[in-house]
């Protein structure tokens, strides 16, 4: 299945009420509506009068494919109870943007418009409420707003984070609504099974870069996509995730702590600084086996002799093996997963590497067939044998692998 096809199934069968309140961030709500429908969700849009000043119901109807509701007096329901029928038919209500005024009304239990009515009337035990705040930085920081946000959380709402940056008023600060793709990721994460809830997961991803001089170095073709997909999937599964990334150009998954490193020695130092707090360690990084023994302070230039400069190499430390031999790993307090990127004879090489590293699970793949791609085939090797995860997007494979790791951590190996 392609990456695009996978995205189209992430929210298949989900019924989302998308609420819009007053704010310039309504333009992002249009993109969010399209993203939600693109992920397979059925979207019903409810707008406040203030929202209609920023974007028209006609636009939202065209994007959602369904009529938009704006008034509690809407005559379309036979019994005039739109706030009841819309809320009962939803799997979740997402208010984006959620203005300071709307959040205050929720905190006070007021219901003066259709959107606040259906938020108040929803069956809270089965219809979650997600709020995506959007407001000026001073409004966001105001004690009343923060107090109201805490009250909505106490009342069962899920408040999403805000972004920091330039605001429509010209000021810069916290309070911007997340972008549509970030909000989609949050909605998908909300519905994901929490199989790693309470776990702290440490992941390494990408290549390392072993500098020769200021402009050259030794590295490999790893893109980091598999490790980043695993970080996102683990976070969605309820884990607290720290991602140690080599030099890659990938966005950080939401609510994942990211630590950027360059060399293998940098990565080792970062791993050792954080692994004591982890319960699961997943080493997806393609760490360089060798590094130059000397670093030239200036670019090494050709001298016309047709002779390349002598390049002496030293072996890099084996980060995974070192962690797997630690007392916590040996005592079963830290579950270690390794990755092997091979160029051939995958099963034999993966089995040998698992034994050599001393890890319970080794995930093998053919590097030349996956570096930089969005899909892959994985071979899971443990003491019982090997299981193949057929070709799929790295997003799908990450979800499958996280589910498998969660079972193993819980002591139930399929």
| DSSP string across 129-178 | EEEEE---HHHHHSHHHHHHHHHHHHTT-EEPP-EEEE-TTS-EEEEEPP
Residue 272 host element (H or E)? helix 264-274
- pLDDT, residue 373, reads 84
**C-alpha neighbours within 13 Å on the C-beta side of residue 113:** 19
Q: What is the largest CA-CA distance in the chain?
A: 91
Distance CA 362, CA 270 (A): 22
Q: How many CB atoms lie within 10 A of CB 238?
A: 18
Tokens 């950027």, residue located: 260
Please tell me whether residues 162 and 255 are part of one structural domain. Answer: no
| Predicted model pTM | 0.89
Please tell me whether residues 44 and 18 are part of one structural domain. Answer: yes
- pLDDT, residue 79, reads 65
**335 contacts: CB under 8 Å, gap ≥ 6:** 279, 280, 281, 329, 360, 361, 405, 408, 409
Q: Does the residue 306 lie in any domain?
A: no
- pLDDT, residue 413, reads 47
Distance CA 135, CA 124 (A): 26
Q: What is the CATH number of the domain that holds 391?
A: 3.40.50.10300
- pLDDT, residue 24, reads 95
Is 119 catalytic? The answer is no
Q: Does the residue 294 lie in any domain?
A: no
Q: Does the residue 372 lie in any domain?
A: yes
Please tell me whether residues 332 and 361 are part of one structural domain. Answer: yes
Q: Does the residue 350 lie in any domain?
A: yes
Domain boundary among 173, 191, 209: 191
Domain boundary among 157, 191, 225: 191
pLDDT averaged per 10 residues in sequence order, the chain, 414 residues:
60 96 96 97 97 97 96 73 83 97 96 93 95 97 98 97 92 95 95 95 97 94 94 97 96 95 98 97 96 92 83 95 96 95 88 94 85 88 94 94 95 55
Q: Does the residue 232 lie in any domain?
A: yes
Residues 260 and 227: beta-carbon distance below 8 Å: no
- pLDDT, residue 304, reads 81
- Counting every residue written for the chain, the total comes to 414
Please tell me whether residues 89 and 221 are part of one structural domain. Answer: no
Please tell me whether residues 174 and 282 are part of one structural domain. Answer: no
The total domain count for the chain is 2
Please tell me whether residues 272 and 381 are part of one structural domain. Answer: yes
- Mark residue 365 as left, alpha or beta (left: phi above 0; alpha: psi -120 to 50; beta: remaining): beta
User: Hey, what long-range contacts does 26-30 have (CB within 8 A, 24 or more apart)?
Assistant: 26/51, 26/54, 26/55, 26/97, 27/54, 27/55, 28/96, 28/97, 28/134, 28/177, 28/178, 28/179, 28/180, 28/183, 29/55, 29/60, 29/96, 29/97, 30/55, 30/59, 30/60, 30/63
Please tell me whether residues 238 and 263 are part of one structural domain. Answer: yes
- The residue range of the domain holding 320 is 200-289+313-409
| DSSP character string of 349-414 | HHHHHHHHHT-SEEEEEEGGGTTT-SEEEEEEEETTEEEEEEEEEHHHHHHHHHHHHHHHHTT---
CA 320 vs CA 23, 323, 339: distances in Å: 49, 5, 9
Please tell me whether residues 260 and 284 are part of one structural domain. Answer: yes
Please tell me whether residues 204 and 183 are part of one structural domain. Answer: no
**257 contacts: CB under 8 Å, gap ≥ 6:** 241, 242, 243
Please tell me whether residues 137 and 278 are part of one structural domain. Answer: no
Please tell me whether residues 377 and 259 are part of one structural domain. Answer: yes
Q: What is the DSSP letter of 277?
A: G
386: its two tokens: 């090997």
Q: What is the CATH number of the domain that holds 34?
A: 3.40.50.1950
Domain boundary among 164, 191, 218: 191
Please tell me whether residues 204 and 242 are part of one structural domain. Answer: yes
Q: Does the residue 263 lie in any domain?
A: yes
Closest CA to 221 of 244, 248, 203, 243: 248
Distance CA 97, CA 135 (A): 9
């Amino acid at each position: 299945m392609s990456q695009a096809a996978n995205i189209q199934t992430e929210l298949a069968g989900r019924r989302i009420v998308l609420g819009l309140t007053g704010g310039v961030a309504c333009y992002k709500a249009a993109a969010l509506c399209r993203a939600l429908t693109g992920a397979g969700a059925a979207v019903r849009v409810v707008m406040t009068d203030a929202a209609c000043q920023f974007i028209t119901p006609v636009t939202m109807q065209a994007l959602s494919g369904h009529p938009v509701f704006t008034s509690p007096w809407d005559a379309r329901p036979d019994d005039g109870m739109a706030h009841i029928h819309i809320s009962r038919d939803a799997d979740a209500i997402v208010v984006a943007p959620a203005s300071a005024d709307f959040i205050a009304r929720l905190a006070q239990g007021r219901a003066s418009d259709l959107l606040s009515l259906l938020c108040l009337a929803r069956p809270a035990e089965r219809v979650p409420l997600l709020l995506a705040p959007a407001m000026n930085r001073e409004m966001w920081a105001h004690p009343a707003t923060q107090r109201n946000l805490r009250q909505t959380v106490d009342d069962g709402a899920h408040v999403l984070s805000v972004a920091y940056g330039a605001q429509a008023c010209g000021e810069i600060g916290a309070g911007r609504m997340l972008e549509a793709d970030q909000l989609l990721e949050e909605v998908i994460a909300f519905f994901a099974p929490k199989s790693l809830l309470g776990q702290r997961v440490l992941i390494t991803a990408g290549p390392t870069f072993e500098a020769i001089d200021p402009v050259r170095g030794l590295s490999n073709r790893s893109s980091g996509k598999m490790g980043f997909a695993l970080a996102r999937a683990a976070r969605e599964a309820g884990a607290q995730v720290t991602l140690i990334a080599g030099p890659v150009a990938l966005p950080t998954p939401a609510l994942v702590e990211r630590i950027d490193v360059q060399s293998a020695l940098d990565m080792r130092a970062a791993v050792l600084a954080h692994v004591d707090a982890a319960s699961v360690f997943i080493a997806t990084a393609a760490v360089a086996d060798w590094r130059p023994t000397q670093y030239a302070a200036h670019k090494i230039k050709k001298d016309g002799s047709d002779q390349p400069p002598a390049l002496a190499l030293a072996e890099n430390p084996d980060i995974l093996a070192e962690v797997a031999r630690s007392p916590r790993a040996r005592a079963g307090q830290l579950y270690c997963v390794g990755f092997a990127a091979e160029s051939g004879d995958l099963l034999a090489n993966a089995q040998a590497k698992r034994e050599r590293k001393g890890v319970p699970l080794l995930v093998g793949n053919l590097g030349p067939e996956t570096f930089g791609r969005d899909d892959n085939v994985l071979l899971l090797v443990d003491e019982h044998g090997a299981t193949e995860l057929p070709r799929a997007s790295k997003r799908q494979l990450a979800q499958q692998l996280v589910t498998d790791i969660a079972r193993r951590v819980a002591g139930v190996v399929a």
